[in-house]
Amino acid sequence: MLLTNLKVIFKMSTDKNVRLQLRQTKEMIKNDKLYSTFKMLKFALKFLTRDKLTSHQGIYYVNFAFPVFPSPAFITFLNLARDKQNILTSHAFCKKTAPLSICLTITTKCNYDCYYCGSKDKNKTDLSTDDWKKIIADLQKMNTPIIFFTGGEPLLHPDLKELCQCVTDKSLLYILTTGDGLTLERAKKLKEYGVFGLGISLTTCDEIIDIEKRQHGKCYQNAINAIKYSVKAGLFTTVIAVIPKNEVNEKKVV
Ligand code: SF4
């Protein structure tokens, strides 16, 4: 994996924004007793030999669970440390002021009926937009670097624009969606509202099985279209493969 990542690492080394945030990071952590250049390199190497490094519009990405670099959300991540004088020690001992990432079920409404669903509930009343705005403000005050909007189907939320816009760039905002209701115009609008990326769900690359599993005639096509629209709109685009435990075995990967 390290070899695959070398090209991106070279690109990073020539990027002035990367160098700027590296300096800023060093300033924040250099007084911590756990800090040493060797340890930092060892830490970076651990990621780079395990995860694929991706570049997207001048930012670099390791995985969903880690803020992109360079970004204000990465600084929020450092500030998660309870002891701001000893950021590394706080992180190492999980002394943090907030979760690293959080999924907010902004609505339980959904047009699908996946057999593995654990969150859809037609009879539940969603929290109000004002409640969500207060929760988001609190999470950001606590230094939560990554916020996911999920559901149900988050694109069905009537005040999605308002909710997206109240997440400042202090946190990365992803929407986890089936793609139901997404158009290219809407994807562009989401980007304008400050959404960083979409996680688009797909259960399999077989359309018939996908329809069987999610009980919606257009689920497969919706996902494929959503991937195209999301990429075109410049959103960071990932596919979330939903693979239930009973379908993972040595002989068969669905
Ligand atoms: S798309 Fe998500 S919320 Fe909707 S039924 Fe499927 S798992 Fe449940």
pLDDT digits (tens, 9 = 90+) for 94-119: 999 999 999 999 999 999 999 888 88
Atom of ligand 1 nearest to the CA of 152: 3
With 70 as the cut, is the pLDDT of residue 253 above it? no
201-237: b (≥16 Cβ within 10 Å) or e:
bbbbeeeeebbebbebebbbebbbbbbebbeebebbb
**252 part of a folded domain:** no
User: Is there a single domain that holds both residue 72 and residue 180?
Assistant: no
CA of 208 to the centre of ligand 1 (A): 17
User: Is there a single domain that holds both residue 116 and residue 188?
Assistant: yes
**Containing structural domain, residue 25:** 2-92
Atom of ligand 1 nearest to the CA of 118: 8
- In this prediction the pTM is 0.91
When pLDDT is averaged across residues 1-12 and rounded to a whole number, the result is: 84
Locate 75 and state its tokens: 């600084």
User: Is there a single domain that holds both residue 111 and residue 160?
Assistant: yes
User: Is there a single domain that holds both residue 52 and residue 132?
Assistant: no
Pocket lined around ligand 1, Cβ cut-off 6 Å: 110, 112-114, 117, 119-120, 151-153, 178, 214
For ligand 1, atom 2, name the residue with the nearest CA.
Answer: 152
Condensed to tens digits (0 to 9), the pLDDT of residues 189-206 reads 999 999 999 999 998 888
